[in-house]
Amino acid sequence: MTSRRDFLKEAATGAVLLGSQSNLGLAGVLSQHPDAGKSRVVVARDAGLHGAGSQPDEKRVLALLDRAMASYTGLAKPVEAWKHIVPQGKVIGIKVNGLGGRGISTHAVLVLAICERLQQAGVAAGNIVVWDRNARDLQACGLTISTDPGKVRCYGSDVAGFEEQQEAWGSARIRLSKILTRDCAMIINVPILKDHDMAGVTFSMKNMYGVVDRPNALHGNNCNPGVADLNCIPVIREKVRFTIGDAMSSVYQGGPVFHPEHLWHPNALIVGEDRVAVDHTAWQMIESKRKEAGLPTLEAAGRAPHYIATAADAAHKLGVNDPQRIKLMEV
């Protein structure tokens, strides 16, 4: 059997998923918890994740991922947790975010850890697709393009293309990536936590701007209701079913591009099914760091992420943003 070190080496060169009403195989597991009526969000931290270097340690990242998944599911064995999350015999997509460049993109080490656990849970290597907008963004994450059907694949919408016909919901009138519509049965959302100069915060829901042909068309009014409307498009709502948010590094000002003077290491993963609850949690983390740095709130800066409340409203019903209805687990 391939060793973990060999797997990571091979994958890096291109050779190689819950809220109270779970849509995954965790419904029965989570119903046993006393807070089953709330959306669960896990924030798992490891203060020593980066050690003395600029990049997080691969062994600690895998351990942090395992802890997050165990805390979320209540299942001690990581592989068993994954078996409840992903369907067998289906193609699983991992949507990353490399827009910010090498300084502030989804970390390859986290992607590889997820790929490793998926395979151990029975997902064939060829049934895993790591993807983003284009090759440039994937390479910014430290990933290598590969379309070998027998190994973990990694390619962008620049290769797969977009559907010819538009999808529409509210203000969203866009064409979707064929990776989402045709290639994958389920998407694990792996965004990077960032401040955003228009939306305020970019994380789980905003990461879906990377699956459409014209994201700029959805940026009006601080991306509200653009983000919420986009996530209501049925194929996004139904296939993007779990978030493993990368908050190992972040920028708390000047995003979504990289500003090293505002780089920050929360050393955390944010995990959950409820994309609204996940984004609300991420927002509070950014606000806390901005306060610590002496910066104004995002509301005072004129760019509060109001799309989060919109996503939770009666028209969208994408999740909850009320802290009283979120079971936040910090581990």
Which residue segment(s) compose the domain that 319 sits in? 4-102+121-330
pLDDT-derived band at 322 (thresholds 50, 70, 90) equals very high
Q: How many domains does the chain have?
A: 1
Specify if 309 maps to a domain: yes
Specify if 234 maps to a domain: yes
Bigger pLDDT: 193 vs 36: 193
Bigger pLDDT: 12 vs 120: 120
pLDDT-derived band at 184 (thresholds 50, 70, 90) equals very high
Q: What is the DSSP letter of 243?
A: E
Specify if 150 maps to a domain: yes
Give the model's pLDDT for residue 26. Answer: 66
Burial environment of residue 126 by CB neighbours within 10 A (0 to 12, 13 to 18, 19 or more): middle
DSSP string across 109-151: HHHHHHHHHHHHTT--GGGEEEEESSHHHHHHTT---B--TTS
Q: What is the mean pLDDT of the chain?
A: 91
Q: What six digits make up the tokens of 26?
A: 């965790």
Mean pLDDT along residues 188-196 = 98
CB 147 within 8 A of CB 160: no
Specify if 265 maps to a domain: yes
pLDDT-derived band at 149 (thresholds 50, 70, 90) equals very high
Specify if 90 maps to a domain: yes
Burial environment of residue 242 by CB neighbours within 10 A (0 to 12, 13 to 18, 19 or more): buried
Specify if 135 maps to a domain: yes
CATH of the domain at 138: 3.40.50
Specify if 225 maps to a domain: yes
CA–CA separation, 278 and 299 (whole Å): 19
pLDDT tens for residues 64-98?
999 999 999 999 898 999 999 999 999 999 999 99
Looking at the predicted structure, is the pLDDT value of residue 33 above 80? Answer: no
Specify if 205 maps to a domain: yes
Read off φ and ψ for residue 159, nearest 5 degrees.
-90, -45
Give the model's pLDDT for residue 22. Answer: 64
Give the model's pLDDT for residue 30. Answer: 62
pLDDT tens for residues 246-298?
999 999 999 999 999 999 999 999 999 999 999 999 999 999 999 999 999 99
Looking at the predicted structure, is the pLDDT value of residue 321 above 80? Answer: yes
Looking at the predicted structure, is the pLDDT value of residue 239 above 70? Answer: yes
